[in-house]
Amino acid sequence: MKRLAFIFDLLSVLIFVAIGRHAHNHGLTWKGMVSTAWPFGLGLLTGWIYLRLTKRNPVLKGSGFAVVLFAVVIGMALRVIAGQGVAFTFIVVALTFLSLFLVGWRWIYSKLARAMES
């Protein structure tokens, strides 16, 4: 499962981006998706580097919260540097959505793993 964890996280970021682009009628073009996703993708990657350096299990819920913080804080900072918009409500939405998804799949996994052990 540890090998799939990064893929689940990356897919969660891409779903976040796709929903946001669709909701704001920006379209789901390859160029548009990359333009919106790259700051959060680099933040996600930084979070994963942190998990590796600190030898944290990436499947634990606490690791999910750490990755969310890296993805959102670095993602928003890079959006500012790149001249992309960063509104307070966008930060709240990003924190909420990515917390639900990045921690959510880990929570589901922990429940299933415990059920399998019993």
If residue 118 lies in a helix (H) or strand (E), which one and from where to where?
Answer: none
| The two three-digit tokens of residue 72, written as one number | 């959102």
19-45 pLDDT, tens digit per residue, is 999 998 888 888 989 999 999 999 999
Contact 39, 13 (CB under 8 A): no
Report the Cα 80 to chain-centroid distance in Å: 18
pLDDT digits (tens, 9 = 90+) for 70-112: 999 999 999 999 999 899 999 999 999 999 999 999 999 999 9
